Structure 1
Amino acid sequence: MEGERFFDNFLQLLPDCQYLKRIEFGEFSFVEFDFIVFTCEALYIFEIKHYRGPYLLEEGSLVHQYNKKIIHKNPFNQLNRAQLLLQSTLQEIGVDIPVISALVFTHPEFTLLNPLALKKQGTVLLRSELNQLKQKLKAGCFKRNSHIMNKLLRKSSPCKNKYIKVERLPFDTMKSGLRCPKCQKLTFAPPLARKRLWQCPHCKHELKQVDLIHHNLIELFICKGEPFSLSEAMKWCNCEKGNNNQHKMLYRILMTTFKHVGITKDRRYYLEMELW
């Protein structure tokens, strides 16, 4: 995660960079992409590794120099599989654009003792070499790339086919509001952004408001059965439309406790859990 955060911050510093992170594709077996970056010339896949210490490539595997522990069996197998799957997905949605992939080592104390052996298999970038990406990842073709990103988001499957199917009521027919984890009764009062403790008006049970909202957001994901947006979370928790404090509070909870795909307005939140 530390490596992904570092690379995410690096991309955010690039002017108008368009990218997706932690997005999955697949029907029966799934491939997660750390980052897909969109430019006019190509789509770039970046697989992030945050290993520390001196490593060698021996018989296709990354091996620590001193303890000879295999840290990764041929990291390019995973990357090549991801590239083939993305190319196939692009063909399905009618997009013809090259796909380029690279393995990125983000730890400042990572050392590759036989770099040529690894670089013969594909593109490898160390943390000190990331500046060379700035020109390659030059922004442009915003309208076209936004169109491709939206199509890929609709094809992504962070939850689809991974969980047990359950019968659900139509999502739009479900009542919104905050449900007490103890008595399971709804209250329709909106959460107070500056209040730390919440008391159920029915059973007087007290808990942290953050925990109450988190509990209700999990319920939202289970009831909907697929990733949801921040606006849907606001509506589900009965937040006041246009209330910036409530908006910030829910956004903070979602970003720290849920996984997500997409960026800005297209971002959707989900959990990796079995839905019984």
Structure 2
Amino acid sequence: MFLKTREFNQYERYILEAAGRCDLDQFDKDHLFTTDKRLLGEQLFYERIKDCIGGAKIWDMRLRLNGQSQYDFIIVADGKIMHFDTKYYEGQYNYVKGNFVSENGYVINNPLALQTKQHMRLQRFVDKMGISYEVVSCIIFVGEQFNVSGFNGDKRILFDKDICKIVNRLNRREVTSEEMEIARTFLEHYDYKGMHTRIHYYPFEEMKKGVKCPKCRNFLPIAEKNAKKVRCQCGCEYTKKEVVRLAFDAIYVLKNSGVTVRDVVEFTGVGRTIVQQV
């Protein structure tokens, strides 16, 4: 069971909505790239474990003990508190002195260095709370298109093929009340400070209009007059009222001010009557 799933902070919501609507500056382009990669890896892992009957699960946890640490997934199960740091990469890599080096020279710098710091802070928190569960931290490279040569194995580093083992373990038995209580203790100490990066608002009137699909983030087609639903190229379908609500949220984030009926009509192609009803 998931007690918490991923929520975008204000800056993430903005750059994800602004992407494809205007030219982003280099700062935002860099953050958009890392945000996209991070969210893709997290989403893939979430989809694989969300229906497991065991474990009290948290997607995105932040703790502050001598600095803030962010944890992609915390799972409390079988006497263990397991932290999974998900990463998404594609292509062929070589493992060289703790680094992962791609064929074109891109380097994933010693991911275990940060993981070790996160693990120590997590262990400190567990000890402080008086929780007698073993702390286990792993980096997991999700996605079948990531291949590594020269890696001799490290129990702290997992790959896509290992997710099946995690799923099987989490399906051995149902989550317990004790595990749920421990997970709630974590959430009571969620640290909201330092989550927001500066936002540079681009001119709203110069942005490309349209509503993005929440699943694939591609633009939805403009609603046809007599159609009841709008269908995305990824296969997802939305009623016109759902499209209006998505448009309102997007415009509110992008405009950083009041949303008008005219704004929503121009974004969606939905008639004024339905927009006003919503």
Shorter-chain TM-score range:
0.5 to 0.7
What is the CA-CA distance between 1:60 and the residue it aligns to?
2.0
What is the CA-CA distance between 1:88 and the residue it aligns to?
0.9
Distance 2:118 2:242 in 1: 44
What is the CA-CA distance between 1:62 and the residue it aligns to?
1.4
5 Å matches for 1:98-109? 98-109=134-145
Distance 2:188 2:158 in 1: 30
Letter in 1 for 2:162: E
1:112 lines up with 2:145 in the alignment? no
1:48 lines up with 2:86 in the alignment? yes
1:134-157 deviation digits (Å, cap 9, x = unpaired):
343344452111111111111110
Instruction: Please give the TM-score of this superposition, normalised by the length of structure 2.
Output: 0.55
What is the CA-CA distance between 1:29 and the residue it aligns to?
2.6
Distance 1:45 1:51 in 2: 19
Distance 1:7 1:162 in 2: 22
Q: Superposition RMSD on alpha carbons, in Å?
A: 2.9
What runs of 5+ residues in structure 1 fail to find an aligned partner? 164-192, 198-207, 219-276
- Larger mean CA deviation between 135-144 and 123-132 belongs to 135-144
Secondary structure of 1:5's counterpart equals: helix
* Maintained 8 Å contact 1:39/1:140: no
Distance 2:123 2:146 in 1: 31
1:12 lines up with 2:50 in the alignment? yes
5 Å matches for 1:215-234? none
1:127 lines up with 2:160 in the alignment? yes
5 Å matches for 1:51-200? 51-64=89-102, 66-70=103-107, 72-116=108-152, 119-120=153-154, 122-137=155-170, 138-140=172-174, 142-157=176-191, 159-160=192-193
Distance 1:156 1:106 in 2: 26
Distance 1:58 1:75 in 2: 12
Secondary structure of 2:67's counterpart equals: coil
Q: Percent identity?
A: 17
What is the CA-CA distance between 1:40 and the residue it aligns to?
2.3
* Maintained 8 Å contact 2:138/2:157: yes
Does the C-alpha gap of structure 1 residues 155 and 128 become closer, same or farther in structure 2, counting only changes over 3 Å?
same
* Aligned residue pairs, count: 174
* Maintained 8 Å contact 1:48/1:106: yes
What runs of 5+ residues in structure 2 fail to find an aligned partner? 1-38, 197-238, 255-278
Letter in 1 for 2:44: F
Does the C-alpha gap of structure 1 residues 52 and 194 become closer, same or farther in structure 2, counting only changes over 3 Å?
closer
1:110-161 deviation digits (Å, cap 9, x = unpaired):
1010120xx24x432221232222343344452111111111111110x236
Aligned to 2:75: 37
Secondary structure of 1:115's counterpart equals: coil
What is the CA-CA distance between 1:56 and the residue it aligns to?
1.4
Distance 2:186 2:148 in 1: 34
Instruction: Please give the TM-score of this superposition, normalised by the length of structure 1.
Output: 0.55
What is the CA-CA distance between 1:11 and the residue it aligns to?
0.8
Does the C-alpha gap of structure 1 residues 162 and 69 become closer, same or farther in structure 2, counting only changes over 3 Å?
closer
* Maintained 8 Å contact 2:55/2:175: no
